[in-house]
Amino acid sequence: MNGGGLGYGRRKLTGHVMMAGSLVAACIAVALLFWIIGYVFIKGIHGINLDFFTELPTPVGVEGGGLANAIVGSIIVVGMAALMAVPVGVAAAVYLSEYGRGLFASSVRFVADVLAGVPAIVAGIVAYALVVSRMGRFSAFSGSVALAILMLPIIIRSSEEIFKTVPNTLREASLALGIPRWRTVIKVVLRTASGGLVTGIMLAVARVGGEAAPLLFTAFSNSFWSLRPDQPMATLPVQLFNYAISPYDDWHEKAWAAALVLIFMVLMLNIAAKMYAHRRPGR
């Protein structure tokens, strides 16, 4: 039998055309990404040296210096944000996937979805109103609150999805062994999902780690060393922003270097997340 003849030939042709089209689109997307990374690399690599990681920023006109305080500040601000958002987000996700039914649960889901779409700068305004205006000054803590607001919905929704991938048969196996529900959730559901959970959290951290807008009027910036959460703190994205809008060539170079470091840190987090997700299960 002549299997379809013309029809088959046309189907095959359409298939080839579609594949070629999507391949081209994929190439454009990847090329664009590499171009951005490559461009930042070329512009930023000059500014990278040991001082960049160990020295404080210098005043205008003074050569040298670095962004040590901003790098450490970013880690602190994002770390405190994660400390706030991760427990709340994971607990909320546990509620949604393990206990939540009916109207309240779907309202929580809806709110999380809306919150996920909120522009970053709005999170900053909220943190400003909640913390900065009450404390009467900018602070690292208020910056963390802003970032936590951004992280929360990402963590809730990604964790809930991960919990849903834990087969129900495992929950039932545990319940049938006479393990109470709450213990089943902690020891079976959370443990089985831990790989995906950690991956989701790392991606959420990477996502907010590069935000400058909500930090501009919360954590603000600081040219000196400060580890106090109740004081303004320098962060990489804000420092990058300040340098980029300045009229000085030296600072522009530093802005590119900061961008490179930021991209590198986000990249590292993504790679770590991938590696954690693909680590050998069992142990």
Residues at the site binding other proteins, with contacts judged by CB under 8 A: 101, 167, 169-170, 172-181, 183-184, 187-188, 191-192, 194, 281-283
Q: To the nearest whole angstrom, how small is the minimum distance from the Cβ of residue 212 to other proteins?
A: 40
Token pair of 268 as six digits: 């590292």
Q: To the nearest whole angstrom, how small is the minimum distance from the Cβ of residue 107 to other proteins?
A: 18
Q: To the nearest whole angstrom, how small is the minimum distance from the Cβ of residue 203 to other proteins?
A: 22
Asked whether the beta carbons of 77 and 230 are under 8 A apart, the reply is no
Q: To the nearest whole angstrom, how small is the minimum distance from the Cβ of residue 201 to other proteins?
A: 18
Q: To the nearest whole angstrom, how small is the minimum distance from the Cβ of residue 241 to other proteins?
A: 44
For 246, left (φ over 0), alpha (ψ -120 to 50), or beta?
A: beta
* Rounded Cα gap, residues 99 and 181, in angstroms: 10
Looking at the Cβ atoms of 122 and 175, the one nearer to other proteins is 175
Q: To the nearest whole angstrom, how small is the minimum distance from the Cβ of residue 110 to other proteins?
A: 20
| Those residues with Cβ within 8 angstroms of residue 225's Cβ, 6 or more apart along the chain or in another chain | 56, 68, 69
Half-sphere exposure at residue 13, Cβ-oriented, CA atoms within 13 angstroms: 6
* Rounded Cα gap, residues 198 and 186, in angstroms: 15
Looking at the Cβ atoms of 158 and 174, the one nearer to other proteins is 174
* Rounded Cα gap, residues 164 and 98, in angstroms: 9
Q: To the nearest whole angstrom, how small is the minimum distance from the Cβ of residue 280 to other proteins?
A: 9
DSSP summary character for residue 246:
S
Asked whether the beta carbons of 244 and 252 are under 8 A apart, the reply is yes
Residue 99's nearest CA partner among 195, 189, 200, 196 is 189
* Rounded Cα gap, residues 201 and 78, in angstroms: 12
